[in-house]
Amino acid sequence: MNYDAEQESLILDAVDKFLIQIKPSVHQLEADDEYPEEIVAQMKEMGLFGAVIDPEYGGLGLPVSTYAKIVEKIACVWMSLTGVFNSHLIMAMSVQRFGTEEQKRKWLPLFASGEMRGALALTEPNCGTDLQAIKTTAQRDGDDYIINGSKTWITNSLYGSCFALLVKTDPTTNPAHKGMSLFIAPKGEGFVMGNKLKKLGYKGVDTAEFFLENYRLPADNLISLEEGHGLQHALGALALGRINVAARGIGVASAALNDSIAYSQQRKTFGKPICQHQSIQIYLADMATRVEAARLLVQSAATAFDRGDRCDMEAGMAKLYATEAAMSNSAEALRIHGAYGYSTEFNVERYYRDAPLLAIGEGTNELQRIIIAKQLIEQNPL
Ligand SMILES: Cc1cc2nc3c(=O)[nH]c(=O)nc-3n(C[C@H](O)[C@H](O)[C@H](O)COP(=O)(O)OP(=O)(O)OC[C@H]3O[C@@H](n4cnc5c(N)ncnc54)[C@H](O)[C@@H]3O)c2cc1C
């Protein structure tokens, strides 16, 4: 075993211990839709908010291939927890990849320690997939920018304190992305919180809207200090988010599988455990195959990310496949559990409510198919 593999197994062991300890409280926290403050404090202690931030800036500097395994394990116990550090780390990645040295030194240690936590703020009431249609603007005013607009569906926005905020610094450009910029935006005067949004699943973690009303930011907070690269910076960092969401997909898909393997050996019909009925065996086999295939795709995308390669196609394939696996496995687990799958006493109904988010967040699965197809054409010109 090389040094990295040893390091990885130490970290994964620590995550396993943490999960064994929190597992008994998950069901109630989920039912109460309560923000898991104590668990978040433990995640901060473990360094998870700096998981992929360079050690030079106070992070753990984990390879994304290890990070994906951590996300899978946590999502297998409670998917909501992975959202608390996912969008935070996308924000951090936008600074780490595209920020100036001064910006990295100022912000990354605060993000890595969890002292400042936050998210990527792209979506607006009128657009999510079509980001070039955003209406939030930033107008230069001396050494500052004055920002007006609104964002919605922003994870961590109630409890978080800082955001990577996508705006238009020039709303007149064609194409629109040439007028888009990404800012590091801590909460302050003019940053007005709206409502916490009610959701089907993904309970506990806060998702909310906010409004920017003559909100002032220093020009030094413009990532890379150059206008016009915001969409590129957001999408560059989002590849990490897609790998996280794909890894969550494995976690949910394998939780559904594990619960089904156990339940199908306990539940008897017609004198034998249901796992001895061929139709149940077919479900279990398909579910297990999806989990394994999803794991391979996620590791392939994570390895490409770690090499520094362009990996939008790999991350897109992993996200598409693993999240559809979560959808299928949670639906099949529900069937295997019969009426008990429909009961809030069991976890299966949670997987069934959580999985659809994975097909929407970090770019819908329809969008992932478009990204994959575009890459196929680009890589194979006639
Ligand atoms: C719980 C939750 C948390 C979220 N957290 C965040 C966050 O932290 N930060 C953030 O910025 N956003 C966040 N979002 C928003 C999320 O990223 C968007 O919902 C997502 O990008 C889709 O955008 P939309 O909802 O506006 O759908 P739309 O863009 O309106 O799409 C509607 C439908 O049309 C399809 N579609 C759109 N365009 C095309 C096309 N060209 N071809 C084919 N099909 C198309 C879509 O796939 C979808 O099926 C969150 C959403 C949820 C539900």
Verify that 206 and 145 share a domain, yes or no: yes
Whether ligand 1 lies within 6 angstroms of the CB of 210 is answered as: no
How many angstroms is it from 153 CA to the middle of ligand 1? 9
Q: Which of 177, 202, 228 is the last residue of a domain?
A: 228
Note whether 304 and 311 are within 8 A (CB).
yes
Minimum CA distance residue for ligand 1 atom 22: 128
Compute the average pLDDT of residues 366-371.
97
Whether ligand 1 lies within 6 angstroms of the CB of 238 is answered as: no
Whether ligand 1 lies within 6 angstroms of the CB of 123 is answered as: yes
Whether ligand 1 lies within 6 angstroms of the CB of 118 is answered as: no
Verify that 109 and 86 share a domain, yes or no: yes
Verify that 190 and 263 share a domain, yes or no: no
Q: Which of 228, 257, 285 is the last residue of a domain?
A: 228
Residue 193 parent element (H or E): strand 191-196
- The enclosing domain of 262 has a CATH number of 1.20.140.10
- The enclosing domain of 171 has a CATH number of 2.40.110.10
Verify that 200 and 221 share a domain, yes or no: yes
Verify that 356 and 222 share a domain, yes or no: no
SS3 for 56-102 is HHCCCCCCHHHHHHHHHHHHHHHHHHHHHHHHHHHHHHHHHHHCCHH
**Structural domain range at position 274:** 232-379
Verify that 125 and 96 share a domain, yes or no: no
- The enclosing domain of 65 has a CATH number of 1.10.540.10
Residue 136 burial (CB count, 10 A): 21
pLDDT tens-digit series, residues 321-363? 999 999 999 999 999 999 999 999 999 999 999 999 999 999 9
pLDDT tens-digit series, residues 100-149? 999 999 999 999 999 999 999 999 999 999 999 999 999 999 999 999 99
Verify that 374 and 247 share a domain, yes or no: yes
In total, the chain counts a number of residues equal to 382
Verify that 64 and 195 share a domain, yes or no: no
Q: How many structural domains is the chain composed of?
A: 3
Verify that 214 and 239 share a domain, yes or no: no
Verify that 183 and 289 share a domain, yes or no: no
Lowest mean pLDDT among 32-36, 107-111, 161-165: 32-36
Verify that 243 and 199 share a domain, yes or no: no
- The pair of structure tokens assigned to 180 is 């888009």
DSSP string over 244-256: HHHHHHHHHHHHH
Verify that 41 and 16 share a domain, yes or no: yes
Q: Which residue numbers are catalytic?
A: 362
Q: Which of 228, 250, 284 is the last residue of a domain?
A: 228
How many angstroms is it from 381 CA to the middle of ligand 1? 30
Note whether 322 and 75 are within 8 A (CB).
no
- pTM here? 0.96
How many angstroms is it from 125 CA to the middle of ligand 1? 10
Residue 205 burial (CB count, 10 A): 23
